[in-house]
């Protein structure tokens, strides 16, 4: 009988440990960093839409990229470190994040010669609190400016 009691105690201890570990994992997910903004990008053969965009706050930026073309594409942000999406098949989409400081970043499709064919643009990341003045400058320029996120 003592052997059964010991096995029951060990089983209960194992179950309690598993629950405690699972509880720790849940806490980590709830403390994950949220994106300051989400930028939606459509890639076609061979253009980025939008070609140029402005994000109002620096920090972690999420990119939601859809391949609306007929060939494979990807999106790369020239930053330090560089941020690159997975290759996106025609009709598919993906998301990825990059932590970006204020500044201008070249973004383009890194596959084959897609950049040379026109899949290139500029992502501007504003300082945050001064974003309203940046929007005024964009709206005052000819051509409609770039979308602001």
Q: How confident is the model at residue 2 (pLDDT cuts 50, 70, 90)?
A: low
Backbone angles phi, psi at 116, to 5 degrees: -65, -25
Q: How confident is the model at residue 145 (pLDDT cuts 50, 70, 90)?
A: low
Give per-residue pLDDT as tens, 4-40.
565 555 455 444 444 444 444 444 333 457 888 999 9
Provide the b/e sequence for 27-41 (b: ≥16 CB within 10 Å): eeeeeeeebbbebbb
Give per-residue pLDDT as tens, 94-130.
999 999 999 999 999 999 999 999 999 999 999 875 4
Q: For residue 124, what are the CA distances in angstroms to 15, 70, 86, 108, 148? A: 51, 28, 22, 14, 9
N-terminal to C-terminal alpha carbon distance within the chain: 68
Give per-residue pLDDT as tens, 54-73.
999 999 999 999 999 999 99
**DSSP 3-state of 143:** coil
Write the DSSP symbol of residue 86. Answer: P
Give the strands of the sheet with 93-100, arranged side by side. 47-49, 37-44, 59-67, 93-100
d(CA 73, CA 84): 11
Average pLDDT over the chain reads 79
Q: Supply 86's token pair.
A: 């997975």
């Amino acid at each position: 009988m003592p052997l059964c009691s010991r096995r029951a105690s060990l089983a209960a201890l194992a179950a309690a440990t598993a629950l405690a570990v699972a509880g720790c994992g849940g806490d980590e997910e709830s403390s994950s960093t949220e994106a300051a903004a989400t930028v939606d990008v459509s890639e076609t053969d061979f253009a980025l839409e939008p070609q140029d965009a402005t994000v109002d706050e620096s920090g972690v930026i999420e990119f939601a990229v859809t391949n609306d073309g007929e060939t494979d594409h990807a999106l790369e942000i020239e930053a330090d470190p560089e941020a690159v999406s997975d290759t996106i098949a025609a009709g598919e989409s993906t998301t990825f994040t990059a932590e970006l400081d204020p500044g201008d970043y070249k973004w383009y499709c890194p596959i084959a010669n897609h950049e040379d064919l026109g899949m290139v643009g500029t992502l501007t990341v504003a300082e945050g609190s001064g974003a309203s003045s940046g929007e005024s400058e964009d709206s005052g320029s000819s051509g409609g400016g770039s979308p602001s996120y």
